Homo-oligomer: A and B are copies of this chain.
Amino acid sequence: MTSIKEIAKLAEVSVGTASFVLNGKGDQMRISEATQRRVIEVAKSLGYRPNISARRLRSGGEKVVPVLAVLWTLDTRASLVSRFLNGIQDHFINQTREFELLIQPYESSKIDKIKSLITGTRFNGAIIANASERDQHYLENAEINVPIVLYHRNSKKYSTVSIDNYKNGMMVADLFANRGHQQIGMVIPNVSSQAVHLRKEGFLDGARSSNIQVSPKHIIFENYSEEGGYQAAKKLVENGNLPSALFFLGDQMAIGALAAFHEMGVSVPQDIEIMGHDNYGQTRFSIPSLSTVHLPVEDMAARCVDLMLDLIEHKVKAPVSTIYDTSIVIRKSCGDFLDKNESSKGD
């Protein structure tokens, strides 16, 4: 890295002068135009870029606020980051504690590449989202140097903010059972995720205990996207012998499936009932509107930040785990069954 010293040397001025010129205070300090030009020329030719750590350290007058990193994966789930950010942002406004947000993208299963988790040279704390099973394994064993909050995961070692995914899966299976379904299916995003895994197990166990069939043919793995859902639905229809109810482990996939069913002349909910998971904004406006499991992302995000700040300020001893309650949101894609039972638990 070129430093201001080298600039000064090459331009044959002192570092002080170079600093003034580079910060646009040349005129104010009445540095001769020739000198200024010389300094700027040298800086440009060397590709000088100020070291903001140094600058910040020096000018530290402006209160130093904690730096909070959100580690988010680069995969399709990237589109979910906005809801998370929204949660943080809303909170951010009604919040006196200041902090700085750093979004650190990482490649799924390669969180070990983020060296600053060890060195602690970039942030005061990290909120980790979408950790794969391999990432979790790494985290459990590594010598991490900054406080960590895991979003939507369980852990003995770290603080977490999560929901009971197993219960959620079960809830949906129970619901299908109560609606009298005999053949039900599930569409699963092909990502490595503890949350998805638990949801799946819960659903299968729930079906089992209600004596409902979940034929292997009716369990589809696909990409975590609208397109993935679209393909899943197509596959199911083409296989023939549709289940009468389908649980999508992500709303986006359900949205894609609605389009596919529509195209292929399969009516929702008459021919097949559909349940999503997450309760994303658009699901209220799909046709038909999508029944789904409400995931309180915004609240969870806010909680992650609060917890993180507490951790950073040593106000709390790690690990703390917060489990959020979820609820089923009933819309048109899964019929109106409130009169039949009270399965909608939680809030």
Chain A interface (Cβ within 8 Å of chain B)?
1, 23-24, 43-45, 47-57, 59-60, 62-64, 66-67, 74, 78-83, 85-86, 89, 92-93, 100-105, 107, 115, 119-124, 143, 145, 225-226, 230, 252, 255-256, 258-259, 262, 281-282, 284-287, 289, 312-315
Contacts and interface: CB of A to CB of B under 8 A. Distances in A.
A313 B101 contact: no
Contacts of A287: 258-259, 262, 286-287
Given A67-B52, A79-B83, A115 B62 contact: yes
A49 B281 CA distance: 38
A145 B101 contact: no
A296 to B, nearest CB: 17
B101 A89 contact: no
Contact of A105 (B59, B83, B85, B281): B85
A314 B43 contact: yes
A57 B44 CA distance: 23
A56 B78 CA distance: 28
Contacts of A54: 53, 57
B51 A259 contact: no
Contacts of A285: 226, 230, 255-256, 258-259
Given A56-B53, A120-B50, A259 B289 contact: yes
A16 B286 CA distance: 61
Nearest to A80: B82
Contacts of A255: 282, 285
Q: Give the top 8 A-B pairs by smallest Cβ distance, nearest first.
A: A259-B285, A44-B314, A53-B56, A53-B57, A82-B82, A79-B82, A53-B53, A56-B121
B78 A82 contact: yes
B145 A52 contact: no
A101 B123 CA distance: 12
A290 to B, nearest CB: 11
A231 to B, nearest CB: 11
B124 A49 contact: yes
A342 B56 CA distance: 56
15 contacts: A23-B120, A43-B314, A45-B314, A47-B313, A51-B64, A52-B67, A55-B120, A78-B85, A79-B281, A103-B103, A225-B281, A226-B281, A226-B282, A282-B282, A287-B287
